[in-house]
Amino acid sequence: MSFAVALAASSSDSGSFASFDVLPWQWIAFIALVATLLLVDLLVLHRKPHVIPIKEAAIETAVWVAIGLSFGFAILAWHGSQPAGEYWTGYLLELSLSVDNVFVWAVILTFFAVPAQYQFRVLFWGVFGALVLRAGFIFAGVALIEQFTFVLYVFGGILLWSAYKIAKHDEGEVVDLEHSRTMRLVRRFIPSTTEYHGQHLFVRENAKRLATPLFAVLVLVESTDLVFAVDSVPAVLAVAREEFIVFSSNAFAILGLRSMYFMLAGMKDRFRYLNIGLGVILASVGVKMLLSEVVHIPAVISLGIILGTLAIAVFASLAAERREVRNAGEAP
């Protein structure tokens, strides 16, 4: 069954979210796959620190997206079309929302002047921590929804408020990371150095173990993911409720973030309408969650909204940039 056919089949289901039993070996296979991918990435592809060019990052991003989409076919074979449709929708939703996370990383790494050849290592551990953090959020969120129906409306309200904040975000706003609460806590409780020591998070000086600035940057990266998880986890819970679907879609979206960062970090200004697009996506899934007890919106409709909104935001941004370049060329 093809990708399109699976989505069409899932859209014909007028019932609630997919419900099925995940066998222990399927969890083991999924975790083993993620662990293997992380080890290959760290110990083979990026064993030696180096500056990652855009071409290499683009190839790696394409591979990660291919892996993420391909896992949906495993779910299709194991559990059928509706779970596969929910997985693909959740994966693309998380991937699109993660773009904003990438741009925040760019601000952090630039602010603290992290050497380009060491950025991959701090983002690797940032992604590893994000996987653990998201797992806790997801299992807690599913348990809350199963026990207390009103949590749906709380999550829906969070998504609508987040949609407004993202759409109205001022790109010119200056954030003082140096004096942020996170940085103050790190410096207060963890003895630190003021200089980078390669890609080490800790070093030993004068018989004392000290954290390097790279560790502080890692803590900031993790703290930003905590904030983004408040938006993204309720968002994916609006399109799926089975823990296996929700966590696997989150995991594969997060795994590709590092290569996406090196590909997109310098292109933030070109996507001026992306925040508005992400706001529309979050608002749509917020409405879907608020209405979930009344009407079930098929995964194919949610997927269409995500892809359509992203396409419009990107094309509108590029068109605006071309107009500015053209007008600048015509100016006397």
pLDDT at 26: 92
Kindly tell me if the per-residue pLDDT of 99 is higher than 70.
Answer: yes
Expressed in percent and rounded to 5, the helix, strand and coil fractions of the chain are 75, 5, 20
Q: Is the pLDDT of residue 319 over 70?
A: yes
Min mean pLDDT across 3-17, 221-235, 266-280, 312-326 is at 3-17
pTM above 0.85, yes or no: no
- Measured CA to CA, the distance from residue 250 to residue 230 in angstroms comes to 13
Q: Which of 94-108, 169-183, 244-258 has the lowest mean pLDDT?
A: 169-183
When pLDDT is averaged across residues 264-270 and rounded to a whole number, the result is: 67
User: Partners of 211 in the beta sheet?
Assistant: 192, 202
pLDDT of res. 284: 78
**pLDDT value, residue 204:** 82
Query: Across residues 165-173, what is the average pLDDT?
Result: 63
CA proximity to 1, closest of 83, 91, 105, 94: 83
Average pLDDT over residues 196-217: 79
The listed range with the strongest mean pLDDT (14-28, 83-97, 166-180, 280-294) is 83-97
Per-residue pLDDT band for 3 (boundaries 50, 70, 90) equals very low
Q: Which residue has the higher pLDDT, 28 or 14?
A: 28
CA 237 to each of CA 86, 118, 144, 190, 279: distance values in angstroms, whole numbers, following the listed order: 10, 35, 11, 36, 17
Percent of the chain with pLDDT over 90: 13
Q: CA-CA distance, 187 to 244, in Å (whole number)? A: 38
Q: How far apart are CA 72 and CA 143, in angstroms?
A: 24
Non-local (6+) Cβ contacts of 169 within 8 A are 275
Query: What is the average pLDDT across 222-237?
Result: 76
| pLDDT value, residue 292 | 66
pLDDT at 6: 44
Of the listed ranges 62-66, 152-156, 256-260, the least confidently predicted one is 152-156
Q: Is the pLDDT of residue 231 over 60?
A: yes
Which tokens go with 248? Answer: 């696997």
Among 172-181, 233-242, 266-275, 318-327, the range scoring the smallest mean pLDDT is 172-181
Query: What mean pLDDT comes out for the span 222-226?
Result: 76
Q: What is the pLDDT of residue 15?
A: 46
pLDDT tens by residue, 25-78: 999 999 999 999 988 888 888 878 777 888 888 899 999 999 999 999 999 999
Place of tokens 């992203």: 310
**pLDDT band per the 50, 70, 90 thresholds, residue 245:** very high
Tell me what pLDDT residue 269 has. Answer: 64
Q: Is the pLDDT of residue 149 over 90?
A: no
